[in-house]
Amino acid sequence: MNRAGLWGLLGALIVESAFTQVIDFEDGQWQDLSHPYSEETLYWPTSDTFHKETVFEGHTEGGWYYTAYSFTTAEHGGTHIDAPIHFFEGRKTVDQLAVSQLIGPAIVIDVRAAVSQNPDYQVSARDLELWEALHGPIPGGSIVLINTGFAQRWPDAAAYLGTAERGESAVPLLHFPGLQELGARLLVERGIKAVGLDTASIDYGQSRDFISHRVLFEANIPAFENLADLSAIPATGSFVVAMPMKIENGSGAPLRVAAFVPAD
């Protein structure tokens, strides 16, 4: 079957989870929710950063053009996934996460207004309940994305992280929004697949106990961090595909995330 025939077959996909959603992939747009990896990529202040080296670039002796590079990166930097093992012993590593847990219907919790007044804002259970009052219960089997608006600050470290300093001394200077503990517990109760947001951590910058990581990861719910601009993704109706590098026994990995937004 050629590509056109395959897309015709998949043109209308029925997604089965705790609810049924029909996705028409022939009528809508894909939105890339990943930042590219480069020397500008932002990392936790204590992590190694991204480095790319040229192995070969140019024309070979045989006359054809050829390029190859090598790179090094920490697991947790840029747009990446936190596997549950990252903060809870005995839980899933990156390679143990089923593909079915990394794709599916998505919802967006928009807290940009609150964050504009407080960069240390924590998304609470109340925020989630207000969303439910407008859109209905958060569906089990969904991927929850949190739009804080911080993606607009990338890659300015001082604006995005709260500090451009690096090393252990920079950690107390971090300021960015995240998910509050009771919000994390409500998402666990709702039976979601994964949660993602456009900041450097699912816990806010001033966290010292990383409780939201621990709550989510105990339930084997992974987190997508440093997502790119979520402003084009509606509150309901989109479909997310999040494919990390499959690192054996990894606690995290670089992540390519895309969301399909059906036409109105």
57 located within any domain: no
Q: Considering its fold, how many domains does the chain have in total?
A: 1
Q: Is 196 left (phi over 0), alpha (psi -120 to 50) or beta?
A: beta
Tens-level pLDDT at each residue, the chain (264 residues) = 454 444 444 455 555 444 566 777 888 999 999 999 999 999 999 999 999 999 999 999 999 999 999 999 999 999 999 999 999 999 999 999 999 999 999 999 999 999 999 999 999 999 999 999 999 999 999 999 999 999 999 999 999 999 999 999 999 999 999 999 999 999 999 999 999 999 999 999 999 999 999 999 999 999 999 999 999 999 999 999 999 999 999 999 999 999 999 997
CB of 93 closer than 8 Å to CB of 83 = yes
Q: How far apart are CA 226 and CA 257, in angstroms?
A: 11
State yes or no: is 86 an active-site residue.
yes
Q: How far apart are CA 206 and CA 151, in angstroms?
A: 18
181 located within any domain: yes
68 located within any domain: no
CB of 91 closer than 8 Å to CB of 152 = no
Q: How far apart are CA 87 and CA 62, in angstroms?
A: 51
pTM of the model: 0.91
CATH number at residue 117: 3.50.30.50
65 located within any domain: no
25 located within any domain: yes
The one catalytic residue among 35, 76, 86, 213: 86
Domain housing 123? 3-47+75-262
- The pLDDT value recorded for residue 43 is 98
- The pLDDT value recorded for residue 2 is 52
